[in-house]
Amino acid sequence: MRALRFHRHGPPAEVLRLDDVPTPEPGPGEVRLRLTHRPLHPADLSMVRGTYGRSRDLPAVGGNEGFGVIDAVGEGVADLAVGQRAIKLGEAPTWQEAVVLPEADVFAVPDALSDTDAAQLFVNPLTAWLLHGAAPPRLGDVLVQTAGASAVARIAAQMAVRAGARAVSIVRRDDHRDRLEALGVHVVVADANTSETRAALREAVGADGAAAVFDPVAGEVGALALSALREGGTHIVYGALSGEPLPVSPAALIYRDVTVRGVWRTQWASRAPSDTIHDTLRVLTAFAVAGAYTLPVDATYDLGDATEAVGAALAHGRWGKVLLTG
Ligand SMILES: NC(=O)c1ccc[n+]([C@@H]2O[C@H](COP(=O)([O-])OP(=O)(O)OC[C@H]3O[C@@H](n4cnc5c(N)ncnc54)[C@H](OP(=O)(O)O)[C@@H]3O)[C@@H](O)[C@H]2O)c1
């Protein structure tokens, strides 16, 4: 079968190559998922570069989530059957035609959930859910986010608006203002922390300040977002898109009693009991089916077109994910 692998770390478009590997057979208690849709996430590309918080033995297959159909079932599997639509949980890689998984690492999805929504359920909606769990913006609160057009930020914003909070998102380009506003998001365009951008953000947030910041950028833009936190507010860093540290003034910590912390879905998913993960995914599935958040796709590429797919995933101004099919 085909597998998109890297034999060394480096720029994804350079080091990813399509290899022919043996098709795995499920053992007792395992099933084989024939994958058809797999996103390219920033963390996936970071893992290929060798800069992610976890690494795989080389040569390694890329990717961390995917949707498909069960096409083989091992002995003793009770609750899953051939033909069932499902997604992969756990840490097995997905940029390959098939993956063998223990039963607990398979989440069967209902027919009402589309293939492309299912393919994106385990990473970004779950991350948005965990961010809300860590610092829930409540009725009347303000949530400030950086990288406001990113998938996680869009989902978290839709969840905040549903909770009766106000969502203010900082974006570095104005391409998606109309789409974000249609989701109920107030847009602030800024890529620096200046007196002008702080004033614009303050105006959008209001005099009471923000209850929470969800920040995958850090650096100056993170500091800008942090400047809008109210006393006792929480700033969660969950990405490092700027490549810069988050500068935090002692005054923010002392006089405004601000909390700065991180959230990492990968760690949560590797530590949470299987039942908790399945229950959480059932909730996220119900929300997706009800249209409570959306998971648009920007483009799809065959597994064999990795260079083009990586180029599309790294392009600026995307609205939605790039998926690998085939
Ligand atoms: N901690 C966790 O558990 C966890 C889980 C999921 C995701 N994440 C992280 O969350 C971030 C977003 O992931 P995603 O899948 O939602 O992203 P995505 O949908 O692929 O979109 C990336 C977005 O980030 C923007 N961006 C990139 N670099 C930026 C910068 N330096 N300053 C401001 N904006 C920038 C892009 O804007 P342009 O269009 O302008 O380029 C784009 O809107 C990533 O860092 C990812 O690793 C963390």
Angle at CA 127, nearest 5°, toward 92 and 304? 45
Please indicate whether residue 52, judged by its CB atom, sits closer than 6 Å to ligand 1: no
Range of the domain at 247: 125-263
Residue at which a domain ends, from 218, 234, 263: 263
Q: Give the pLDDT band (50/70/90) at residue 55.
A: very high
What is the length of the chain?
Answer: 326
- Span 300-312, average pLDDT: 97
Tell me the β-bridge partners of 19: 3
Do 134 and 61 sit in the same domain of this protein?
no
pLDDT tens figures, 143-158: 999 999 999 999 999 9
Out of 241, 294, 323, mutate this one to test ligand 1's pocket (max ligand atoms within 8 Å of CB): namely 241
Q: What is the pLDDT of residue 169?
A: 98
Say yes or no: CB of residue 317 within 6 Å of ligand 1. Answer: yes
Q: Is position 308 within any domain?
A: yes
Q: Is 222 in the pocket of ligand 1 (CB under 6 A)?
A: no
Residue 152 and residue 213 in one domain: yes
- Ligand 1 centre distance from Cα of residue 169 (Å): 13
Q: What is the pLDDT of residues 164-209, one digit of tens each?
A: 999 999 999 999 999 999 999 999 999 999 999 999 999 999 999 9
Is the CB of 217 within 6 Å of ligand 1?
Answer: yes
Q: State if residue 172 touches ligand 1 by the CB under 6 angstroms criterion.
A: yes
In a domain, 130, yes or no: yes
Give the nearest ligand 1 atom to 238 CA: 1
- Count CB-CB contacts under 10 A for residue 147: 23
CATH number at 304 reads 3.90.180.10
CA distance 243 to 123: 21
Q: What local confidence, expressed as pLDDT, does residue 243 receive?
A: 94
Q: Which of 54, 283, 244 is nearest to 159 (CA)?
A: 283
Residue whose CA is at the smallest distance from ligand 1 atom 21: 150
CB-ligand 1 contact for 265 (6 Å cutoff): yes
105-142 per-position pLDDT tens digit: 999 999 999 999 999 999 999 999 999 999 999 999 99
Query: Within this chain, do residues 157 and 108 fall inside the same structural domain, yes or no?
Result: no
| pLDDT bracket for residue 275 (50, 70, 90) | very high
Number of domains comprising the chain: 2
Number of neighbours of residue 108 by Cβ within 10 angstroms: 14
Ligand 1 atom nearest the C-alpha of 318 is 39
Residue 83 forms part of a structural domain: yes
In a domain, 199, yes or no: yes
The CA 172 to ligand 1 mean position distance, Å, reads 12
Same domain, 100 and 130: no
Is residue 268 included in any domain, yes or no?
no
Residue 247 lies inside a defined structural domain of this protein: yes
Q: Are residues 243 and 213 in the same domain?
A: yes
* Residues 237, 248 contacting (CB under 8 angstroms): no
Q: Are residues 253 and 300 in the same domain?
A: no
Question: What is the spatial distance between Cα 321 and Cα 54, in angstroms, rounded to a whole number?
Answer: 22
Which of 244, 263, 282 is the endpoint of a domain?
263
Instruction: Give me 53's structure tokens.
Output: 């918080």
Residue 235 has a pLDDT of 98
- The confidence score (pLDDT) of residue 287 equals 97
Residue-by-residue DSSP string for 279-312 = HHHHHHHHHHHTTSS---EEEEEETT-HHHHHHH
Are 192 and 172 in the same domain?
yes
Q: Is 263 in the pocket of ligand 1 (CB under 6 A)?
A: yes
At residue 209, the pLDDT reads 98
Q: Ligand 1: does its nearest atom lie under 6 Å from the Cβ of 122?
A: no
- Gap from CA of 150 to ligand 1 centroid (Å): 5
Question: Would you say residue 101 lies in a domain?
Answer: yes
- Buried b / exposed e over 129-142, threshold 16 CB at 10 Å, is bbbbebbbbeeebb
Task: Verify that 150 and 228 share a domain, yes or no.
Answer: yes
Question: Which of 237, 263, 289 finishes a domain?
Answer: 263
At 42, the pLDDT band (50, 70, 90 cuts) reads very high
Same domain, 97 and 134: no
**Distance in Å, CA 189 to ligand 1 centroid:** 16
CATH number for the domain that contains residue 256:
3.40.50.720
The pLDDT assigned to 128 comes to 98
Ligand 1 within 6 A of 242 CB? Answer: yes
The per-residue pLDDT for 143 is 98
- Residue 104 CA to residue 79 CA, distance in Å, equals 10
Verify that 243 and 278 share a domain, yes or no: no
Full DSSP string of 89-149? -TT---SBSEEEEEGGGEEE--TTS-HHHHTTTTTHHHHHHHHHHHS---TT-EEEESSTT
Residue 173 lies in a domain: yes
Q: Which two tokens stand for residue 178?
A: 């109309």
Structure confidence at residue 144 (pLDDT): 98
Burial class (CB in 10 A: 0-12, 13-18, 19+), 21: middle
pLDDT at site 30? 98
134 and 243 housed in the same domain:
yes
Nearest to 167 by CA among 191, 196, 187, 190: 187
Contact in structure between 91 and 62 (CB atoms under 8 Å): no
Residues 255 and 294 grouped into a single domain: no
Percent of the chain with pLDDT over 90: 100
